[in-house]
Amino acid sequence: MAYLFTSESVSEGHPDKIADQISDTLLDNFLAFDEESKVACETLVTTGQVVLAGEVRSNTYIDVQDIARNVINDIGYTKGVYKFSGDSCGVISLIHEQSQDINQGVDRDSKEEQGAGDQGMMFGYATTETENYMPLALDISHKMLIELAKLRREGKEITYLRPDAKSQVTIEYSDDNTPLHIKAIVLSTQHDDFDTDDEKMLSKIKKDILEILMPRVIAQFPEKVQQLFKEDITYHINPTGKFVIGGPHGDAGLTGRKIIVDTYGGKGAHGGGAFSGKDPSKVDRSAAYASRHIAKNLVAAGVANEVLVQVSYAIGVAEPTSISVDTYNSSNVDLTNGEIAEKVSKIFDMRPAAIEKRLKLRNPIYRETAAYGHMGKEPRTVTKIFESPYSGKVKREVELFTWEKLDYVDQIKEAFKLN
């Protein structure tokens, strides 16, 4: 019997994502001037206020208030009418030094034996469902909001958009897990109060979403996915009606409150640890990236059509306490899940220091992860410039989304004797 599956995404202007982007931009600035910085930074945003908290150990000093304001302005909160603006909001910093009790469990005389920054379990997932090995419902949800933000910034075809937005996609699947068609799409977008007639205003928004946004989104997908966008899709566009009050004025935002949006949209599993604001010694982040890297390369190599990788750690201990693999009965090799996991543990060194080195995680690469998902994006090299009134200016060329690289496919094929 066919079944339904749903995933959601949120825009860069969603309150929780504002918080994530501030936390990760602070992290980037610390790493840009001191790559050994230990950072765990949390952000709260609400009407006219930003609160920064957490623990940092670093040899540099940055202007955290100025950085937070710049992020808010970059996202698009630049007008007083939003009740939240980078130029006018208050910014309170409660950041203090990292606990020595935690630090002594992480640092070692030998970098390779660096202990895990915390206990816990992390997951990585990949599927052949899309070209970027991500779940389809989440991929569509992300792309809708990325394109909506482009329309907002262009300010030509749709002129009334504000930064806050959410999307949701429901797909009907066959018994063999093949997508049959898109059942429902939900899109809520914040907007200017551009008409005194609320019904007329909502009608205009629905028309623009269906006739301007959706064709641009659909065109990004291959033909097999485009065919899933059939005429009988149920669209819920701003289903509550008016959505003028939004952003931190409508809801408070917190770092780490969109962990399912950040990963796989409810597919696979999640260990519960958030990513943003944490340097890579925190395995919540680094091991989740490494697990995605493993899962994606396993699927790309043809080991299975769907893979979930779990890894777990004890705080202060370098070697993981476990590595497991689930192929959801989609394996293309004559091995058990346990045997596949044993081979994986020999191919990939999952000690925290090895993960940091393999994926180049001690670079300022995190602002780009903090909206529209940490997984499924195209790896690329960019040049970044960081300025500090205390440390001057640095220019860094860095690789983004290294965990998305298919650089272990040949090695996996050899290990699993795949052509």
Q: Which residues are annotated as a binding site for ATP?
A: 14, 164-166, 242-243, 251, 257-258, 274, 278
β strands within 98-241, DSSP E: 120-127, 161-173, 179-191, 234-237
Q: Is 251 a catalytic residue?
A: yes
Asked about 14 being catalytic, the answer comes back as yes
Decide if 166 is catalytic.
Answer: yes
**220-246 pLDDT, tens digit each:** 999 999 999 998 999 999 999 999 999
17 given a catalytic annotation:
yes
The residue behind tokens 């490494």 is 290
Three-state secondary-structure class, residue 298:
helix
Q: Which of 57, 83, 166, 362 is catalytic?
A: 166
What is the overall mean pLDDT for the chain? 95
Beta strands at 90-97 and 120-127: parallel, antiparallel or unpaired: unpaired
- What pLDDT was estimated at residue 286? 97
Q: Which amino acid is at 15?
A: P
pTM: 0.95
The strand pairing partners of 385, in sequence order, are 395
Q: Which helix (H) or strand (E) holds 388?
A: strand 380-388
Lookup: tokens for 355: 């993960």
Distance CA 154, CA 419 (A): 47
| 395 is annotated as an active-site residue | no
**Cross-strand partners of 254:** 44
Check residue 115 and report its DSSP letter: P
230-261: b or e for each residue (b if 16 or more CB lie within 10 Å)?
A: eeebeeebbeeeebbebbbbbbbbbbbbbbeb
Q: Can you tell me whether residue 63 is helix, strand or coil?
A: coil
Q: Which residues of the chain have pLDDT under 70?
A: 98-113
- Residue ranges of the binding site for Mg(2+): 16
Phi and psi torsions of 40, nearest 5°: -140, 90
- What domains, with CATH codes, occur in the chain? 3-8+136-245 (3.30.300.10), 120-128+282-415 (3.30.300.10)
List pLDDT tens digits, range 143-193. 999 999 999 999 999 999 999 999 999 999 999 999 999 999 999 999 999
Please answer whether residues 276 and 138 qualify as being in contact, where contact means their C-beta atoms are separated by less than 8 angstroms: no
Return all residues near 309 (Cβ < 8 A) that are at least 6 apart.
123, 124, 125, 291, 292, 294, 295, 298, 323, 324, 325, 344
The pLDDT value given to residue 108: 52
Strands 179-191 and 161-173: antiparallel
